[in-house]
Amino acid sequence: MKLRRCWRIQLSRVDEDLLLISAWLNIGMDAMHGIEQNGDKFWTKIWESFCANNTYGITRSSTSLSSRWGNINRETSRFTGFMAKVEAQNKSGITDEDKASHEQDQEALCIKAEKLRLKTIKEEGRIMTMDTSGMNDKEIIYFENLKDRILARQIVWNSC
């Protein structure tokens, strides 16, 4: 039951996004007002258009629509940049799907590397601030050596 509800929410979100995009295009390209409108008036008109054409029974404020538009715009820009990279790699015999798949793999690797880097920073921070007062001599020496290696690694990274 929860899966169906989430699916419906996702579908209505896509429909709402399409409605928002349509309203933004129609209001923004209005020859009578166009880019002459101030921000509040512009988003009020988008909200009015959105409400007039909304058959989903979900109400949104003009601020909510403006915020959602920011997300759509950001993700669209990311996608456009992603596709520009794909198209720039014009290797013979490789389809657009292959290029897109390769770019996705590269992005996934970058995300994994960043997660690992953040996990390492967190763990090194924990080690650097660890209280060794309750440890025996061997444990203290072990953690002091770890701290020295962490500091040496940070010095190398900071000098690059």
Does the residue 68 lie in any domain? yes
**Residue predicted with more confidence, 7 or 115:** 115
Mean pLDDT of 6-34: 70
- Mean residue pLDDT of the chain comes to 80
Q: Residue 93 — φ and ψ, nearest 5°?
A: 80, 0
Apex 68 CA angle, 64 and 71, nearest 5: 150
Has residue 140 been placed in a domain? no
* Any domain includes 36: yes
- Furthest-apart CA atoms within the chain: distance in Å: 80
Specify whether the CB–CB gap between 69 and 24 falls below 8 A.
Answer: yes
Q: Is residue 155 part of a domain?
A: no
Residue 124 is assigned to a structural domain of this protein: no
- Residue 3: pLDDT over 50: no
What gap in Å lies between CA 53 and CA 19, rounded to an integer? Answer: 8
Tokens 């601030």 belong to residue: 129
Instruction: List pLDDT tens digits, range 87-121.
Output: 777 666 778 788 888 889 989 998 999 998 888 88
Q: What is the pLDDT of residues 44-94, one digit of tens each?
A: 888 888 888 887 777 788 888 888 888 899 988 988 888 888 777 766 677
* Number of folded domains that form the chain: 1
Distance, CA of 146 to CA of 83 (rounded, Å): 44
Overall residue count recorded for the chain in this entry: 160
The residue segments making up the domain with residue 31 are: 1-88
The rounded Cα 49 to chain-centroid distance in angstroms is 28
Give the pair of three-digit tokens for residue 19: 């409605």
Q: Does the pLDDT of residue 4 top 80, yes or no?
A: no
* pLDDT grade for 36, boundaries at 50, 70 and 90: low
What pLDDT sits at residue 33?
58
Q: Is residue 29 part of a domain?
A: yes
Query: Dihedral sign, CA of 26, 31, 32, 35?
Result: positive
- Asked whether residue 152 is domain-assigned, the answer is no
- Separation between Cα atoms, residue 111 and residue 113, nearest integer Å: 5
